[in-house]
Amino acid sequence: MPRRYLNLTPLPDALAAMRRAFPPLDHTETVPLRLAVGRVTAESLYAEYSVPLADIATFDGYAVKSADTLGAQDQRPLPLGDCARINTGEILPPSFDAVVMVEDTWDEDGKTWIRKSAAPWQHVRHAGEDIRAGELVLPKGHQVRPFDTGALATYGITRVKVRSVRVGIIPTGSDLVPLGVVPAPGQTVETNTLMAEAYLTRMGATCRRYGIVPDDPDLIQRALEEAVAENDLVILSAGSSAGSRDYSADVVGALGEIIFHGIAVRPGKPVLLARVDGKPVLGMPGYPVAAQTVLREVAGDLLCWWGLSPVQGEELDVRLSRKLASDLGFDEFIPVSVGRVDGTCWATPHPRGGGIQMAVVRANGYLHVPAGREGIEAGEEVRVRLTVPQERIARTLICTGVRYPALNELGNCLSDAGYLLHCCNASTMGAVLALRAKTCHAASVCIPKTETAWNDLVLRYLPEVDLLRVQVARTELGIASSDALDTGALESLRFVNRPKGSAARVFLDAWLEEQGIDADRLTGYEHEVRTPGAVAAAVSNGFADAGVCPAAMAREAGLRFTPLGHETCDLLIREELAGDEGVASLIRAARSPESPERLQPLEK
């Protein structure tokens, strides 16, 4: 079967083509009030009757004629003459025009007394004060909120006519397993349809998730034909790229007309849009973050065009903490964490990529780099779309640096105090520079336990800064190998390495120098991986014979281990920020008995 190459369409052009191809629907349905929350009204809703229907009392007390109470004072109390006992919500008798609260009366000598005169219509709700019969309650196009239902019920509305958009979501892929099944190597839990259903339902759509369809064109075609017959929009999850097992383009091309295949967006480039039986079929990438971009920027745009409600997200102007490069001609969406440091809001980017879900989980917003920009400079003002309420930003603490598991526990302690700790990944050098630039509240740095490490990697870049330091972890590092390490035969081994500046690289270089071995003669010395887990996996899976990783990882993988030294993960905080309430909470959490060491001034 011939493969078609992706022909990238600019995002604005793709959205315009989509709107031209699929004009707004006029599909409606009527649902019971209890099922109306989240749905968008298809017509205006009017009160069936006035509320209240008559003048009523707003407090328990006595219905009175206000003229009869004139002259009542603290020093000259008056007895109530013509009055009637009344309770909250009861109809005011026709001859009375005010209510005196029972708390403002007392009984004496068989009479009820007051010390203050009543104003006309005091504590009385007039007929129709809340709403009058036939008055507008909700306009057309309003997304019904939970508290709206109480008002609608009060005003006699029990059924609501809403806009109806039915979305069918089909997961494809022979490597997929359903939710709750532990995937084998090479398998993936199918989550994109779960995510799509949750997101599009928030907009007011009615979603149906179909079963997993293997990578078989005939099976995909049958599933697609069924979904098109039953829905207004069909989303095919995965299979939209140009791989040997990506069949979406061929299947929808055989059934209908492809409008575009590939848009200039990252992540989410291999998105596909087609028309089958007059209905849109959207093929979205299988990588979860890429799928999120397509749901938000493409599927969400179509549903808004069709009259559903956008997922609300506040926008905030902030400064970018570090330089971002971006390819000209691509709209790029990058997850960021936003926090206020010393009076300035900074956005710190998380790792990019269509499959890095935790980047989105750890973020509290995202940044759009337009296609006309090649990047954004550090310190430049940018607009961020928040994925959390804006008030949370003031309670967010940014920690830049190495993301050690111990920091997660520190974050748990902070959450009890009402603060959120966002850990943004960076090298030790990147963390130190972020602390110097005041773009983070704290920096997590991993330093080898050597005499010169602190001076070389920290203090020389922060010579005039007073710092607080706490050790959050101490790790033994060494060479993990598939067999016993023979120093005389190192040049015959395939190595996997860590980046320059990392503690693992420092220890390995020092050890090689001690052994009198030229690093340039080691096979794979220049082959760098980002994480210690990747080192252990490479050796364990036979892609390399040796590499430096923590002792615990080597043991877990069943590898031999040759100790080299220890590294510490330390949290650095500028003393001048210690008065900030959030930073003070971080310091208290670090000083708690659960912390490995107490916070202490950093000696210079």
pLDDT in tens, 364-401: 999 999 999 999 999 999 999 999 999 999 999 999 99
- What is the Cα–Cα distance from 198 to 409, expressed in whole angstroms? 29
Residue 191 backbone phi and psi in degrees, to 5: -125, -15
Q: What is the pLDDT of the chain when averaged over all its residues?
A: 90
Structure-token match 């928040």, residue found = 386
Query: 3-state class of 264 per DSSP?
Result: coil
Q: Is the pLDDT of residue 600 over 50?
A: no
Give the 3-state DSSP-derived string for 451-498, with helices as H, strands as E and coil as C.
Answer: CCHHHHHCHHHCCCCCEEEEEEEEEEEEEEECCCCCHHHHHHCEEEEC
Say if CB 245 and CB 215 are below 8 A apart. yes
Token reading at 50: 């006035």
Distances (CA, A) of 270 to 381, 418, 461: 30, 41, 43
Token reading at 347: 């956005």
- What is the Cα–Cα distance from 334 to 348, expressed in whole angstroms? 10
Confidence band, pLDDT 50/70/90 cuts, at residue 490: confident
Q: What share of the chain is helix, strand, coil (3-state, %, to 5)?
A: 30, 30, 40
Token reading at 384: 């961020």
Residue 2, pLDDT score: 39
Residue 374 backbone phi and psi in degrees, to 5: -90, -5
- pLDDT, tens digit (0-9, with 9 covering 90-100), for 160-201: 999 999 999 999 999 999 999 999 988 999 999 999 999 999
Residue 239, pLDDT score: 65
Segments of 192-271 assigned E as strands: 206-209, 233-237, 257-261, 265-266
The distance in angstroms from the start CA to the end CA of the chain is 68
Q: What DSSP character marks residue 384?
A: E
The fraction of the chain above a pLDDT of 90, given in percent, is: 73
Residue 245, pLDDT score: 62
Does 215 or 7 have the greater pLDDT score? 215
Mean pLDDT calculated for residue range 567-590: 89
- What is the Cα–Cα distance from 307 to 204, expressed in whole angstroms? 9
Mean pLDDT calculated for residue range 316-340: 95
- Which of 60-74, 81-95, 435-449 shows the lowest mean pLDDT across its residues? 435-449
Residue 599, pLDDT score: 46
Token reading at 200: 């599009």
**How many residues does the structure list for the chain?**
604
CA 602 to chain centre: 36
34 Cβ partners below 8 Å, 6+ apart?
A: 149
Q: Is the pLDDT of residue 241 over 70?
A: no
- What is the Cα–Cα distance from 228 to 274, expressed in whole angstroms? 12
Residue 4, pLDDT score: 45
For the beta carbon of residue 150, count every other beta carbon within 10 angstroms.
10
Residue 520, pLDDT score: 86
- pLDDT, tens digit (0-9, with 9 covering 90-100), for 503-519: 898 889 989 988 888 88
- What is the Cα–Cα distance from 486 to 538, expressed in whole angstroms? 19
- What is the Cα–Cα distance from 138 to 116, expressed in whole angstroms? 42
Q: What DSSP character marks residue 183?
A: P
Residue 354, pLDDT score: 60
Confidence band, pLDDT 50/70/90 cuts, at residue 246: low
Query: 3-state class of 66 per DSSP?
Result: helix
CA 135 to chain centre: 39
Q: Is the pLDDT of residue 603 over 50?
A: no
Confidence band, pLDDT 50/70/90 cuts, at residue 500: confident
- pLDDT, tens digit (0-9, with 9 covering 90-100), for 257-307: 999 999 999 999 999 999 999 999 999 999 999 999 999 999 999 999 999
Q: Is the pLDDT of residue 240 over 70?
A: no
For the beta carbon of residue 9, count every other beta carbon within 10 angstroms.
20
Residue 569 backbone phi and psi in degrees, to 5: -105, 115
Distances (CA, A) of 572 to 442, 445, 461, 476: 6, 8, 13, 21
Nearest CA among 211, 208, 224, 221 for reference residue 165: 208
Does 413 or 18 have the greater pLDDT score? 18
Distances (CA, A) of 222 to 170, 219, 323: 11, 5, 48
Q: What crossing angle do the helices spanning 581-590 and 405-416 adopt, rounded to 10°?
A: 120
- What is the Cα–Cα distance from 457 to 369, expressed in whole angstroms? 32
Query: 3-state class of 258 per DSSP?
Result: strand
- Which of 201-215, 358-372, 449-463 shows the lowest mean pLDDT across its residues? 449-463
Confidence band, pLDDT 50/70/90 cuts, at residue 593: low
Beta bridge partners of residue 468, listed in sequence order: 573, 601
